[in-house]
Chains A and B, each alone.
Chain A
Amino acid sequence: QQQVKQSPQSLIVQKGGISIINCAYENTAFDYFPWYQQFPGKGPALLIAIRPDVSEKKEGRFTISFNKSAKQFSLHIMDSQPGDSATYFCASNMNRDDKIIFGKGTRLHILP
Chain B
Amino acid sequence: DAGVTQSPTHLIKTRGQQVTLRCSPKSGHDTVSWYQQALGQGPQFIFQYYEEEERQRGNFPDRFSGHQFPNYSSELNVNALLLGDSALYLCASSLVGTVRANYGYTFGSGTRLTVV
Contact = CB atoms under 8 A, between A and B. Distances in A.
3 nearest A-B residue pairs (beta carbon): A43-B107, A102-B42, A46-B104
Contact of A45 (B43, B96, B107): B107
B31 interface: yes
Residue from A43, A89, A100, A103 having most chain B Cβ neighbours under 10 A: A43
Interface stretch (A12-20, A67-75, A78-86, A91-99): A91-99
Interface residues of A, number: 25
Interface of A: 4, 6, 32, 34, 36, 41-46, 49, 89, 91, 93, 95, 97-105
Interface of B: 4, 31, 33, 35, 40-45, 48, 55-56, 58, 90, 92, 94, 96-97, 99-100, 102-110
A100 B55 CA distance: 14
A43 B4 contact: yes
A46 B26 CA distance: 15
